[in-house]
Amino acid sequence: MRNLIVLGLALSCVALPCSGVANAADEEPPPWAWAFTSRDDRVTPITPLAPLPGANSSAGETAPPSHNLAGSKFSFTRAEVWSSYGPADWFPEDHPQMPEIVAKGRRSSNPPIVACALCHLTDGSGRPENANLTGLTQEYIIQQLVDFSKGRRKTSDPRKANTEAMSKLATAMTEEDMRAAAEYFSSIPAKKTIKVIEAAIVPKTRSGGGTFHILPGADACTEMLGNRILETPVKEEDSEIWRSPRSGFIAYAPPGSLEIGKELVHTGSGKTVECTACHGSDLRGMGPVPRLAGLAPSYIVRQLYDMKHGNRTGLWSPLMVPLLKNLGTEDMMNAAAYLTSLDP
């Protein structure tokens, strides 16, 4: 079986362009950054494993079991963890007190505002399919919320529905909501949540709910990574079922990508301007220019691709767009592997 996979990959390599050569394939959104394996994958639900008992609990349903996460003083049911208007807070000691809009959102708004904490997690550290909101300035966060609300942040792969959800809820946010959320997330220091490992052979995964999941039990096997970055939770159940903000992710990147990415980020590699010029010498951001160190690689590549292809057109995006002209998706991948590996 392994031999067949390797052979299949070797054969498919013949048709692939060599690195550095401009090619049409560069212009397709790379499926892995949108957590798909191909252009033909169908969307799989955000709930990656079994259906969530009690997720929409109605009266009369038997009480679903509670669960405890190591290190937490609390136990919650899946319904509590996945609640749109007040998701479970496993580790209140890890973050300042959340303002109402972050902890609960506002169901009565039109459209309703789902709690930021549900998607971005209570401490704002986020997940590959959304965004890390820590380590940013208030000014930047508010500008992005305004950009979302004005339809200036779209995603290049229409299968990704949560970007549209983000846009919609931003239209319902008041200035006061934006200020409160920005003040909260900008007050949380960024922490390292993703470990980058260079590897040619990786565990076989399946796509689901915006990230990749290692096949368990009898289905477990390995496959060639190829030219992509693979993000997968460190602890599948803690992360994907119980949405632990402490579980973290592993990003497998092609051997050599960190070194090539480092060169690109610090010198531009003759293709663009060095990223440090605006994002700061440590890539932790400068004034309203956002930090890049430690971000999810899929998020980084989505943003670069979206900006290059006219789908992210925020007030400050024009500063980035010309720099992306000569960068193909492989360059973006290498830069992302390196940027993710940095301490935030």
* 182 Cβ contact list (under 8 Å, min separation 6): 138, 139, 141, 142, 145
User: Is residue 314 a contact point for ligand HEC (CB under 6 A)?
Assistant: yes
* Smallest gap from residue 173 Cβ to ligand HEC (A): 6
Of 5, 9, 278, 321, the residue at the interface with ligand HEC (CB under 6 A) is 278
**Residue 251 near residue 194, CB atoms below 8 Å:** yes
Regarding 319 and contact with ligand HEC (CB under 6 A), the answer is yes
Closer Cβ to ligand HEC, 61 or 176, answer by number = 176
**Smallest gap from residue 26 Cβ to ligand HEC (A):** 15
Site for ligand HEC in 196-255 (CB under 6 A): none
Q: Please, which residue, 10 or 319, has the CB nearer to ligand HEC?
A: 319
Question: Under a CB-based contact definition with an 8 Å cutoff, are residues 67 and 90 in contact?
Answer: no
Applying CB under 6 A, which part among 23-31, 66-74, 140-148, 191-199 lies near ligand HEC?
140-148
Beta carbon of residue 38, minimum distance to ligand HEC (angstroms, whole number): 19
Alpha-carbon distance of 162 to 167, in angstroms, equals 9
Contacts of 333 (CB under 8 A, 6+ apart): 30, 227, 228, 229, 253, 254, 257, 261, 297, 301
Which residue, 263, 257, 199, 253, is CA-closest to 229? 253
Quick check: 141 binds ligand HEC (CB under 6 A)? yes
The reply on whether position 163 binds ligand HEC by CB under 6 A is yes
- How far is the C-alpha of 243 from the C-alpha of 118, rounded, in Å? 9
In the set 120, 228, 243, 262, which binds ligand HEC (CB under 6 A)? 120
When asked if residue 341 is in the footprint of ligand HEC (CB under 6 A), the reply is no
Least Cβ distance, residue 59 to ligand HEC (angstroms): 26
Q: Are 203 and 222 in contact (CB under 8 A)?
A: yes
Rounded to whole angstroms, the maximal C-alpha distance in the chain is 65
User: How far is 325 from 303, CA to CA, in rounded Å?
Assistant: 14
Size of the site for ligand HEC (CB under 6 A): 45
Q: Scan residues 16-45 and list those touching ligand HEC (CB under 6 A).
A: none
| Other beta carbons less than 10 A from residue 84's beta carbon | 15
Rule CB under 6 A: choose which of 79, 230, 292, 342 binds ligand HEC: 292
Torsion of CA 67, 72, 76, 82, to 10 degrees: -110
Among 116, 188, 253, 333, binds ligand HEC (CB under 6 A): 116
Judge contact between 139 and 289, C-beta under 8 A.
no
Question: Which positions lie near ligand HEC, rule CB under 6 A?
Answer: 101, 113-114, 116, 118-120, 130-131, 133, 141, 143-145, 155, 162-163, 165-166, 169, 173, 181, 265, 272-273, 275, 277-279, 289-290, 292, 299-300, 302-304, 312, 314, 316-317, 319-320, 323, 335
